[in-house]
Amino acid sequence: QVQLVESGGGLGQAGGSLRLACTASGRTFSSYHMGWFRQAPGKEREFVATIRWNGINTYYVDSVKGRFIISRDNAKNTVYLQMNSLKPEDTAVYYCAADRYYFGTRAGEYDYWGQGTQVTVSS
């Protein structure tokens, strides 16, 4: 079992930055690929970024490439999402998730989820 807790959400301004963190319980965090997803009101949950268990490989949805950076610190059981050049369309609840096998972009490939943290970007 892996329990995930997100933090760092809140209100940001367009063009500004926010950093999300997701801390995992348990000793097997470093075995999991980690992902960030987001869900805006009335929309489907959307893949944002993922990072391989060893931190070497990352992948992003096109809409955040060049603006968001996913990283992890396995010693701290934490994955981060640095969000720069924020846009109002980044407003959503952001979820982190853990995936043992796929390093994927589909929500169904992830085994464990956090409760989500709200990010609101004002124009």
Residue 120 has pLDDT above 80, yes or no: yes
- pLDDT of 1 reads 84
CA distances from 50 to 40, 54, 122 (A): 19, 12, 26
- pLDDT of 74 reads 95
3 state DSSP class of 6: strand
- pLDDT of 26 reads 78
Kindly state the percentage of the chain with pLDDT values over 70.
Answer: 100
pLDDT in tens, 2-15: 999 999 999 999 99
pLDDT in tens, 12-60: 999 999 999 999 997 789 999 999 999 999 999 999 999 999 999 999 9
- pLDDT of 27 reads 74
Please enumerate in sequence order all residues whose Cβ is within 8 A of that of 59, keeping only pairs 6 or more positions apart, or say none. Answer: 49, 50, 103, 105
Contact between 22 and 112 (Cβ < 8 Å): no
Contact between 46 and 60 (Cβ < 8 Å): no
Whose structure tokens read 């952001």?
A: 94
Residue 61 has pLDDT above 90, yes or no: yes
- Rounded to an integer, the average pLDDT of 94-98 is 98
